[in-house]
Amino acid sequence: MSPRDRLKLFQQVCSAVHYAHQRLVVHRDIKPGNILVTADGSAKLLDFGIATMLSTERALGTLSAAQLLTPDYASPEQIRGSRSPPRPMSIRWACCSIGWWRAAARTVSRRPLRMSWCGRFASAIRMRRRTVASQELRRVLAGDLDNIVLKALEKDPANRYPSVEQLSQDIQRFLEGRPVLARPHTWRYRGSKFVKRNKLAVAATALMVLMLIGGMAATLWQARIARAERARAEQQFFETRQLANSLLFEVHDAIKDLPGSTQARAFIVGSSLKYLDRISAASPGNAALELELAEGYKRLGDVQGRSGTSNLGEYASAESSYRKALALLGRISDRSFERRRSRLTAIIQLRLNKSDESARAIATLERLRDTGGGERQTISDLALGYSVMADSLAKRREFGAALIVRQKEWALQEQLLDMDPANTTAAQNFALSSKRLGGLYWAVDRKPEAMEAYQTALRLEEAWSAREPSNTDAKMAISFSHSDIGFLLSDQNQPREALEHYAITVRIREELAAVDPSNSRAKMSLVSAYWRTARASVNAHDTKTALDLLSKATRVLAQSKNPPPDSVQSLVDFANIYMVYGECYAALHRPAASHSWYERSKHALTELRAQGKLDANGVHLLQQVEKALGGVR
């Protein structure tokens, strides 16, 4: 039987026990041998030979451990000979352990293992009929079912389910994909259950809620006409705004780390903003509302095309959304909101990543830091500013200056982590800063320090992923750390060791690209992983693998829609792929083919340079290609 069928059969047993308990009959010896299943799949509870009526006298009586019971299925208090009165209608220990767990008197004081672990300890634990051996079954048991059984097996009766009916109801909740009582009802847990039950319906639900918002907004307009209804109209206005904000911030944040959520996030944010726009038009000059609307456009820009996070690759649309946010912030004159306005303006200027705007943003953030009394948010914002400046300098290949700025950012991120070592965001940001610092150490030929920085980042990111196994950003971060370590090992002429790290990078990015086809970042990162791994394969004299990886990279780029194959980013990636093709055929001693591929790479880069679209890194790549062409014989 499948796990679901077993659970349904077990619920029949629960119903029989509940029926007896309702009539004050306590079985006292429930075990697998006393439960039979008919040919039509009906469970029968048998052998009420030592059953008793639950009465006041018996409830207050004492029972010794020597009385009738089956030790393997008796509760801890029965085995210990506890004199505390049994709880009327409570679940007996044996009822919850049928087919899954056998308690022995010698281990009754130990905390039971989780069901999902049983397959790993099959040699040490006797199981009835079979052991949990398959990964798939362990996956089903892990989580809710583990917690249901652990609650039923609590040593203290007060911590178990109050009745067999509640146990059965918790199993039913599991079968229906609803939150179970055996687990804490955190927002993340309830949110994940909701999304799993509804999946694509989340977007449809959001649309229905937004339609409700529209109706409420229309009612608000009508209500404002009558003076007598002004108070009610204002209340409806407030509720509509709160509901739109709930979608924009709470619902969006609840799903943003889930695999495959990029398109849904864009829908929720974009649709919510339409209604916030209407509310804003109905209340001109409302500084608080305009701040919320500006924050909404910033979030829309992030999901459209913010570098370093899951996005749709719509970079022009992202810049347009950021510009709308700045325009809204420029209209706010209320001095009581000045600090919030200045901070949000600086953050959006950093998102735009223009040198003049970034400089103004950093000046603003330094002023906020100096006047903020060391508050955490201003330190974090300034670290972000330094990070953007360091990225810009590195892109222009001004590595010495970039290293100085990056070290400032790294020191601030370390300070934030020291302030709150358990903060996941602080650990994540410190890991990213360490990784980028490692890249600059490599650029200035300080390779031992680069390797130390990369390994620090990888340790922090693996801990982050262990805490949040479904977080796609954590997995992507790990893939970049392995890629960086692989690159450094390749540079140190250790191709075999480098390939071990590159293989992990490719595997992670293939999984992320498959689970969320709308995620442009995952797709373009996969292209990079393919051609970098191909280069390491050439250095390891494995040209067959290299050619296969290059073919995959070319196919992914050619089929891309965001960004399209003729975008600057895609053309630079094509140039990298063509260059590695040239290296591969050079290793195969086929100079004509090698020369042809180098020429294709040079042509793509030369066209971009002629259009004024080639940055300093692209120019450096073109110089490498031209040097390679000169060496082909």
> Domain range for residue 107?
3-183
Q: Give the span between the Cα atoms of 415 and 421, in whole angstroms.
A: 10
Domain contains 610: no
Tokens 């100079």 found at: 591
- Beta-bridged to residue 44, according to DSSP, are 36
Give yes or no for a contact between 319 and 301, defined as CB atoms under 8 angstroms apart. yes
Q: With the C-alpha atoms ordered 251, 252, 258, 264, is the resulting torsion angle positive or negative?
A: positive
What integer pLDDT is reported at residue 504 of this predicted model? Answer: 97
603 versus 125: the higher-pLDDT residue is 603
First to last CA, the chain: 68
554 versus 283: the higher-pLDDT residue is 554
Domain contains 469: no
Which residues of 360-440 form beta strands (DSSP E)? none
**Mean pLDDT in residue range 333-348:** 90
Q: Which tens digits make up the pLDDT trace of 3-20? A: 888 899 999 999 999 898
Both structure tokens of 247: 């979608």
Domain contains 153: yes
Choose among 549, 439, 433, 537: nearest CA to 488: 439
HSE at residue 73, side-chain half, CA atoms within 13 A, is 21
Weakest mean pLDDT among 100-114, 135-149, 350-364, 516-530: 100-114
CB atoms within 10 A of CB 238: 11
Under the banding of pLDDT at 50, 70 and 90, the label for residue 129 is very low
| Residue 452 predicted with pLDDT over 90 | yes
Domain contains 512: no
Choose among 473, 11, 510, 475: nearest CA to 253: 473
| Residue 393 predicted with pLDDT over 70 | yes
Name the burial class of residue 564, with classes exposed (0-12), middle (13-18) and buried (19+) by CB atoms within 10 angstroms of its CB: exposed
What integer pLDDT is reported at residue 299 of this predicted model? Answer: 81
Residues 6+ apart with CB under 8 A from 70: 29, 31, 94
What integer pLDDT is reported at residue 503 of this predicted model? Answer: 96
Domain contains 604: no
Q: Which tens digits make up the pLDDT trace of 93-115? A: 444 444 433 464 455 556 677 77
CATH number of the domain bearing residue 63: 1.10.510.10
The torsion angles phi and psi of 589, rounded to 5 degrees, stand at 60, 45
Tokens 């540079």 found at: 491
Tokens 């000046």 found at: 363
HSE at residue 464, side-chain half, CA atoms within 13 A, is 26
Q: What amino acid is encoded at 502 in this protein?
A: Y
Domain contains 157: yes
Domain contains 134: yes
pTM of the model: 0.53
Weakest mean pLDDT among 32-41, 84-93, 157-166, 359-368: 84-93
Q: Which tens digits make up the pLDDT trace of 74-83? A: 777 777 665 4
What integer pLDDT is reported at residue 102 of this predicted model? Answer: 44
> H or E segment at 42?
none
What integer pLDDT is reported at residue 125 of this predicted model? Answer: 44
Residues 6+ apart with CB under 8 A from 236: 216, 219, 220, 223
- Beta-bridged to residue 52, according to DSSP, are 26
**Mean pLDDT in residue range 111-122:** 62
Weakest mean pLDDT among 110-124, 402-416, 451-465, 536-550: 110-124
**Mean pLDDT in residue range 617-628:** 92
Domain contains 132: yes
What integer pLDDT is reported at residue 276 of this predicted model? Answer: 67
Weakest mean pLDDT among 292-306, 511-525, 528-542: 292-306
Q: Give the span between the Cα atoms of 223 and 393, in whole angstroms.
A: 56
Q: Which tens digits make up the pLDDT trace of 540-585? A: 999 999 999 999 999 999 988 878 888 898 999 999 999 999 999 9
What does the chain come to in residues? Answer: 633
DSSP symbol at 55: -
> Which whole-number Å values give the CA distances from 461 to 269, 308, 397, 409, 524, in the listed order?
28, 15, 27, 18, 21
- Beta-bridged to residue 25, according to DSSP, are 53
What integer pLDDT is reported at residue 539 of this predicted model? Answer: 92
Q: Is the peptide bond before 563 cis (omega within 30 degrees of 0)?
A: yes
What integer pLDDT is reported at residue 598 of this predicted model? Answer: 95
Q: Give the span between the Cα atoms of 291 and 36, in whole angstroms.
A: 66
What integer pLDDT is reported at residue 560 of this predicted model? Answer: 85
Q: Give the span between the Cα atoms of 17 and 75, in whole angstroms.
A: 16
Q: Give the span between the Cα atoms of 172 and 180, in whole angstroms.
A: 9
Name the burial class of residue 571, with classes exposed (0-12), middle (13-18) and buried (19+) by CB atoms within 10 angstroms of its CB: buried
Q: Give the span between the Cα atoms of 133 and 121, in whole angstroms.
A: 10
Both structure tokens of 30: 């429930």
Both structure tokens of 84: 């505390």
Weakest mean pLDDT among 227-241, 339-353, 551-565, 570-584: 227-241
What integer pLDDT is reported at residue 410 of this predicted model? Answer: 97
Give yes or no for a contact between 339 and 321, defined as CB atoms under 8 angstroms apart. no
Choose among 261, 249, 242: nearest CA to 202: 261
Tokens 């077993």 found at: 6
Q: Average pLDDT of the chain?
A: 81
Calculated CA dihedral for residues 100, 104, 105, 106, nearest 10 degrees: -130
What integer pLDDT is reported at residue 625 of this predicted model? Answer: 94
Domain count across the chain: 1
